[in-house]
Structure 1
Amino acid sequence: MKKILFLIIICQFSCKGQEDCPQGINLLPMYGEVKKCKQQIDSDKNFILESEKKFGDSKKASEYYVSKGWEYFYDNDNETSMKRFNQAWLLDNTNSQIYWGFGNLLGRSNKFEESLKFLKKSIQIDPNKPEVYESISVSYGQLFYKTKDAKFLNLRLENLKKAMKIEPRNGRVLGEIANTYAYLKQKDSLIKYIKKTDEIDSKFVNPEVRKLTKKK
């Protein structure tokens, strides 16, 4: 009887320990920024030690997991992608690519406002990545479609121009600037950026947007 009682007590402590561990946090950016249980903390420490042993240092290990994060992202495996970016974050939370990954994954899940926090963090660490400004502009564009608030169009335009400043001959960015001016109904700027885009590649301008230049 005492042995059975002892086993019940052990089970209660074990179950209590599992209950204290937040579940599903590896599917949230930065593990949801929640307090982890001892088991999870110990597991993280072991993961970091093993990764440093395998790759030489934590930054190199982080780069590897970032590459895996993008690999799964482009395979449309969002859950595994988030897990890999989280592992990269554990190893080196100064890696700007991680926050770009978090932001893009949230955007893909239609969590555009949440995505901005991480995309801005990526820019804060490395302000010279035009593709991150493009991602920010996408989130602002989607917020405009959702709210019809023109302030989001202006923020979209602001970030597209930051991307253009870094990469002046990016036809995709120039085309998106033209498209944004179409929504803002600023015809002179629309014509200007259609011409700039056409100098690189005319396919980046929506044919419907071109028609707007003909209207009086």
Structure 2
Amino acid sequence: MKYQRCIILVMLFIMSCSSTQDCLENINLLPMYGSQKKCQEQIDIDQDFFRECDNGFKNRQEASKFYTKKAWGYFYKNDYDTAMKRFNQAWLLDSLNEETYWGFANILGMKEKPEESLIYFNKSIKINPNNSNVWLGLGVSNGQIFFKTQKQEYLDRAIECLKKSVQLNPKNALAYGQLTASYSYFMEKDSALKYLELTDKIDPNAINPEVREILRKK
């Protein structure tokens, strides 16, 4: 009898450990929770979160926008982990909220993971292809990959994305500034000076001083 009780206790302990191990930690620090299968405890937490939002907002799309706004607030305070958590909550509420993917991409870019960021910039663009700043971010990430790999194709893509950005918003000074920098690396001084002039008309601070120095010496 004592032997049977010991067996039961051991089995319960193993089951308890197995249940705990199934709960992967820190998945809320990964975009879309890392696409990981959640354990029952995490599913229960999500259900509680849904109930809270359903009681506090008109619909889940509205709740998603609320958490997106909170996420950007943390992002601009350079608190990228908390921003990721809030973007994940916003995504959980509405997977068609294009800003969540934009947020994931920006955080990955800030964490020097430009290759991964491309996935989420493209997801955002697939939902809404008319956001100038998302195209800007996609261009910047391609530029970061170019600097790492020196593969011309990434610089070409960066310029394509940046041109799309200024097409959508002709007053996007940061996009013009990035185009100026991109053409300076192409050694195309005429194109670089063209975009330098356009940038200066909108916001001279959008130009990196190093880029100005490069063009001055050419």
**TM-score of the aligned structures, taking structure 1 as reference length:** 0.90
Gap change, CA 1:36 and 1:178, over 3 Å in 2:
same
AA aligned opposite 2:103: G
Q: Given the alignment, which residue of 101, 112, 134 partners 1:132?
A: 134
Deviations 1:87-143 (A, max 9, x none): 111110000110011001111111110001001111111111111111111111111
Aligned to 1:31: 33
Q: Which residue of 1 aligns with 2:97?
A: 95
Q: Does structure 2 retain, via aligned residues, the 8 Å contact 1:48–1:90?
A: no
Q: Which residue of 2 aligns with 1:197?
A: 199
| CA 162–80 in structure 1, closer or farther in 2 if over 3 Å, else same | same
Structure 1 vs Structure 2: percent identity of aligned residues? 45
Q: Comparing 104-113 with 203-212, which one deviates more in the overlay? A: 203-212
> Shift in Å at residue 175 of structure 1?
2.0
- Cα distance, 1:192 vs structure 2: 1.8
Matched, 1:149 2:151: yes
Equivalent-residue separation in structure 1 for 2:55 and 2:73 (angstroms):
23
Q: Any gaps of 5 or more consecutive residues in structure 2?
A: none
1:8 Cα deviation after fit: 3.9
Change (3 A) 1:20 1:63: same
Aligned mates of 1:73, 1:103 — CA distance in 2 = 12
Give the Cα separation in 2 of the matches to 1:209 and 1:66: 34
Q: Counterpart in 1 of 2:59?
A: 57
Q: 1:105 aligns with which of 104, 107, 126?
A: 107
Inter-CA distance 105–207: structure 2 relative to 1 (3 Å threshold):
closer
| Per-residue deviation, 1:172 | 2.3
CA root-mean-square deviation: 2.0
Residues 127-168 of structure 1, C-alpha deviations (whole Å, 9 max, x = no match): 111111111111111111111112111111111111101110
Does the 8 A contact of 1:65 with 1:88 survive in 2?
A: yes
Summarize deviations over 1:41-74 as a string: whole Å, max 9, x none: 2322222122111112111111111112112212
Alpha-carbon distance, 1:178 to partner: 1.4
Separation of aligned partners in 2, 1:110 and 1:178: 22
| Cα distance change on mapping 1:18 and 1:210 into 2, 3 Å | closer
User: Would the alpha carbon gap of residues 32 and 209 (structure 1) be closer, same or farther in structure 2, given more than 3 Å must change?
Assistant: closer
Asked if the contact 2:135/2:165 (under 8 Å) is kept, the reply is yes
Change (3 A) 1:5 1:210: closer
Q: Which deviates further from its counterpart, 48-57 or 104-113?
A: 48-57
- Taking structure 1 as reference, are residues 213 and 23 closer, same or farther at Cα in structure 2, changes over 3 Å only? closer
Q: Distance in 1 between matches of 2:116 and 2:176?
A: 26
Residues 76 and 199 (structure 1), Cα distance of their counterparts in 2 relative to 1, 3 Å cut: closer
Counterpart-to-counterpart distance in 1, 2:213 and 2:76: 34
CA contact (8 A) 2:84 2:104 kept: yes
With over 3 angstroms needed to count, the CA separation of the structure-2 counterparts of 1:171 and 1:4, relative to structure 1, is same
